[in-house]
Amino acid sequence: MSMQDKTVLITGASRGIGAAAAREFAAAGAQVALAARNGEAVAALAGEIGEQAIAIPCDVSRYWEVEGAVAACLKAFGRLDALIGNAGVIEPIAPLSAADPGSWGQLIDVNLKGVFHGMRAAMPVMQEAGGGTIITVSSGAAHHPLEGWSAYCGSKAGAAMLTRSAHLEGQAHGLRVMGLSPGTVATDMQRTIRKSGVNPVSELDWSEHIPPEWPARALLWMCGPGADAHLGEELSLRDPEIRAGAGLE
C-alpha cells in the first residue's frame, strides 16, 4: 500500500515494533516522525531512513512533550495523517501485594496516559483536516489477567477502552480509530518478561514470538481502505483473516 505524501507519527519508535513500523511506513513512501524517550536511538533511525524522517525526543507520559511532538511533525511536514500509539513498558512485574506504587503508577503514565496524550494532541489536528487514522498497539493482556502483570494488564485494558471512545467520538469527523493486538513479538520486552520468570508468557520459547515486521506490516495495512470494515475494533494477529488481510499469510 502506498503512503506517498502522507505523514505518520509513531511513538515508541526507537526499537521493536515502533522501529519496524518506521521502516515499513517509510518504505511505503510516508514521511515519518519518530518519537521516543531515547533521543539518540530515534536520531540514528531517522538518519538511516533519510530526509523523509525526523526524530523527536519525547516522553509520552508528559502531555506537553506529546503536544510538542505533534507540533514538530506539522512544522516539518505540514500535516498529520496517522498516529501509531506504540510506546509502552512492561515493568513492574510484581504481585499486587508487593508492587512498588511509584513504579506501578509510572507504567500507567506511559501505557495509559501516554495513549490519551497522543489522542488529545492529534485528534483536533486531524478533525480540522477532515480525517486521519489513530491506531493503538494493544495486547491480549487487555482482556486476560496475568500473574504479576496488574499494571500492564490494567493499562492495556484502559487503552483499549480509550481507543473505542476515540472511535465513538471521532468517526463523524473522518477519524479511523482501531487497536492492534499483535500477540507475543520478538522484542526486548520479551527478554524482560522471560527474565522475570513470572506467569506462562515468560516460559515461551523465543521461536514462538513473531518478528516485529509482522505487526509493522499490519499497521501499514490498517492505515488503508482494506481495514475499513474494522473501524473501532481491536484487530488480533492471531486471527487468520486479519493476517491474510495484512498480507501475512
Residues annotated as catalytic are: 152
C-beta of residue 123 within 8 angstroms of C-beta of residue 166: yes
CA distances from 9 to 39, 100, 114, 151, 240 (A): 15, 32, 14, 26, 28
C-beta of residue 175 within 8 angstroms of C-beta of residue 230: no
CA–CA dist 43, 55 (Å, integer): 5
Dihedrals phi, psi of 12, to nearest 5 degrees? 65, 40
C-alpha cell at 5: 505524501
Beta strands in 118-213 (DSSP E): 132-137, 175-181
